[in-house]
């Protein structure tokens, strides 16, 4: 059992709910009972993103090496933490952890609260006695450097079903009690999600060979104005919730109760997978925290249309009486796409959220901060204004800007999570930040605002009001002029997180290889380099910047090209598949990162010796 020497000693204070004597007690949702105000020193230690120079690596779990076709929370997670520790890194950023839906994107999840069960380790299930050696006899020949979801899903689900059957037969009363406690503490989202997932699977199986039934033809007629024939087929045969029988789609209590009883085994199976995911995740997080490494999580501002979140709370979204969105999310034409990006997420009914005091959102943030140390919120600009696209449009071009909740939303977060700061205690401000700004920062909210894209003065003003750190991306810095705000000499304060690139960018090597002459020349002249080692050139520049935190995608640490790109916005297929080889992160790579971390004061105190900057390992 991993334990953190600095963790609070009582279960009331222990928000990670790890005990030293037995299995973890789960439920990030137990944070609904947690008092964030007037924190003890122990709480303060784990919920404050205190200003300090540090660096970390962006590596999603799916990218880990391993024999089961996709990275998981098993043995390599510990190996990766050991690498981070050796390198002197104090941050590890992951992508959203939810169960992925169509297209395998972590930003389109069936639930904003649930975990991705495909990340559960078969090896750990074996160690717990839920799988036998013969269950591993026919492992497919998975590709080494990409996730093959089409083969991974049936392979892992077969193992998981066997594990659940073994779990149900397990006589260990302690495990059963922990599972029951997990279900109780997470009831506010788990019951809806488990039934949602079970229903989807049921209707997918039922419709697979049914053909064009009367039900299908009705659904097609209702949607032909908005969707192509192929999309209609994907939605119906993929069992999007608004294609279910009307009483069930509308969550009539009698229908919900009857189906929950009818699918009881599958509902229990889904809950078991969530229990195992959070059990394994909490152990990984505890191990990272023990190594003095903070986990940066990520949540998209919007949730997927086909999610338990929308099905369970339709009044919080702009939907019509039949459960179809009236307008959907996206972004206008930009750097990534000349047609803009049509995400398709339903838009929030912000007035409805405001009437509840943003209760749903507060629960969402509370849950997320229960499983990570720092939270990056994607598309921060959407809280000021968001791009609303009429449902049925084929591109994002014909959308328009609508006002978001703005300061009122962040004031609500402060009321829910903020600390009782003494009147004689100054706010915690970054160097150069005004005394009038920083409400969220002074309150200790460990949140990073992803403020990329079309950023207006109003968006800048909102981030200044919150005091949250924004993002700088070096791939956006070149090819324009010396006033580019992503160029480090233009950073007005330290309150930012700098990236060589993000999951939406090409790798550093791929980007440089595809850059135009003017852009690549600008890079070489600005950095005074040849460009032969452009990934390390950008890493050095990020570490040298005044940004408090520097994050480097693992592809840039390894030095990979465009073949390792994680996502290409606006392109539907071929994304989210990248995996790296087990021998890629060598001690020599760690030494290079530690050297630069020492040069630019980004190491923890345990590394701050004269040896840390004595010689260039290259």
Q: pLDDT below 70 — which residues of the chain? A: 1-51, 336, 419-443, 608-618
pLDDT value of position 33: 32
Residue 442 CB partners (closer than 8 Å, separation 6+): 421, 427, 428, 429, 467
Alpha-carbon distances, residue 407 vs 201, 347, 384 (angstroms): 41, 18, 8
For residue 569, the model assigns a pLDDT of: 86
Q: What's the pLDDT score for residue 496?
A: 96
| Known catalytic membership, residue 450 | yes
Q: In whole angstroms, what is the distance from residue 224 CA to residue 209 CA? A: 22
User: Active-site residue 504, yes or no?
Assistant: yes
Place of tokens 């452009």: 534
Calpha distance 358→618 (Å, rounded): 52
What pLDDT does 8 receive?
A: 29
**Which residue in 154, 2, 126 sits closest to 70, CA to CA?**
154
pTM over 0.85: yes
pLDDT tens-place string over residues 417-463: 875 333 333 333 344 444 444 556 545 789 999 999 889 999 999 99
pLDDT for 611 equals 53
Domains of the chain: 28-468 (3.20.20.80)
Alpha-carbon distance of 245 to 249, in angstroms, equals: 6
Active site residue 583: no
Residue 35 exposed, middle or buried by CB count within 10 Å (0-12, 13-18, 19+): exposed
For residue 191, what pLDDT is reported? 98
* CB atoms near residue 224 (< 10 Å): 12
187-207 and 253-262 helices, crossing angle to 10°:
70
What is the C-alpha separation between 377 and 341, in angstroms, rounded?
18
> Which positions ≥6 away from 16 have C-beta within 8 Å?
4, 7, 24, 282, 285, 286, 370
Beta carbons of 112 and 309 less than 8 angstroms apart = yes
- Tell me which of 298, 450, 537, 548 is the catalytic residue: 450
Please state, in angstroms and rounded to a whole number, the distance separating the CA atoms of residues 94 and 295.
Answer: 8
Predicted pLDDT at 571: 85
Active-site residue identified among 280, 378, 537, 548: 378
Catalytic residue among 146, 192, 306, 504: 504
Element (H, E) at 203: helix 187-207
pLDDT at 172: 81
Tokens encoding 45 = 């230690």
């Amino acid at each position: 059992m991993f334990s953190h020497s600095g963790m609070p000693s009582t279960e009331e204070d222990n928000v990670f709910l790890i005990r030293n004597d037995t299995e973890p007690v789960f439920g990030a949702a137990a944070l609904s009972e947690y008092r964030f105000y007037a924190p003890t020193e122990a709480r303060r230690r784990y919920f404050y993103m205190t200003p300090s120079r540090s660096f970390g690596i962006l590596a999603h779990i799916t990218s880990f090496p391993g024999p089961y076709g996709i990275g998981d929370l098993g043995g390599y997670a510990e190996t990766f933490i050991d690498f981070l520790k050796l390198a002197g890194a104090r941050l590890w950023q992951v992508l959203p952890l939810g169960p992925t839906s169509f297209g395998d994107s972590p930003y389109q999840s069936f639930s904003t609260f649930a975990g991705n069960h495909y990340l559960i380790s078969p090896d750990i299930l074996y160690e717990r006695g839920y799988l036998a050696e013969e269950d591993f006899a026919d492992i497919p020949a998975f590709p080494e450097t990409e996730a093959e979801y089409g083969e991974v899903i049936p392979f892992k689900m077969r193992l998981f079903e066997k594990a659940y059957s073994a779990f149900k037969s397990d006589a260990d009363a302690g495990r059963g009690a922990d599972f029951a406690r997990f279900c109780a503490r997470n009831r506010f989202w788990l019951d809806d999600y488990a039934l949602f997932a079970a229903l989807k699977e049921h209707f997918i199986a039922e419709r697979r060979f049914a053909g064009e039934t009367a039900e299908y033809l009705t659904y097609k007629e209702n949607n032909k104005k908005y969707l192509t024939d192929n999309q209609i087929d994907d939605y119906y045969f993929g069992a999007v919730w608004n294609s279910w029988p009307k009483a069930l789609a509308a969550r009539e209590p009698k229908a919900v109760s009857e189906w929950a009883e009818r699918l009881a085994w599958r509902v229990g199976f889904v809950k078991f997978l969530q229990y195992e995911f959070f059990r394994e995740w909490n152990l990984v997080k505890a191990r990272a925290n023990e190594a003095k490494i903070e986990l940066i999580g990520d949540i998209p501002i919007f949730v997927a249309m086909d999610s338990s979140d929308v099905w369970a709370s339709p009044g919080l979204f702009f939907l019509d009486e039949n459960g179809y969105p009236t307008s959907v999310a996206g972004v206008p034409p930009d750097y990534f796409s000349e047609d803009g990006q049509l995400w398709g997420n339903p838009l929030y009914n912000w007035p409805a959220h405001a009437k509840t005091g943003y209760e749903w959102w507060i629960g969402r943030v509370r849950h997320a901060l229960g499983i990570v140390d720092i939270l990056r919120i994607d598309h921060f600009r959407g809280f000021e204004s968001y791009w609303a696209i009429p449902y049925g449009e084929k591109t994002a071009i014909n959308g328009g800007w609508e006002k978001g909740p703005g300061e009122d939303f962040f004031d609500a977060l402060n009321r829910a999570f903020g600390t009782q700061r003494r009147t004689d205690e100054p706010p915690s401000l970054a160097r150069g930040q005004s005394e009038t700004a920083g409400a969220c920062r002074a309150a200790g909210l460990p949140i990073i605002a992803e403020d990329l894209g079309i950023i207006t003065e109003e968006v800048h003003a909102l981030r200044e009001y919150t005091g949250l750190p924004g993002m700088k991306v070096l791939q956006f810095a070149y090819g324009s002029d010396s006033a580019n705000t992503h160029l480090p000499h233009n950073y007005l304060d330290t309150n930012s997180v700098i990236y060589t690139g993000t999951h939406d960018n090409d790798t550093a090597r791929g980007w440089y290889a595809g850059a135009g002459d003017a852009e690549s020349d600008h890079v070489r002249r600005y950095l005074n380099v040849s460009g032969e080692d452009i990934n390390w050139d950008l890493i050095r520049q990020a570490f040298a910047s005044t940004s408090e935190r520097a994050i480097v995608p693992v592809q840039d640490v390894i030095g990979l090209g465009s073949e390792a790109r994680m996502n290409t916005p606006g392109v539907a297929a071929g994304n989210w598949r990248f995996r790296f080889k087990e021998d890629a992160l060598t001690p020599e790579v760690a030494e290079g990162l530690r050297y630069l971390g020492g040069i630019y004061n980004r190491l923890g105190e345990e590394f701050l010796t004269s040896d840390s900057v004595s010689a260039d390992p290259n």
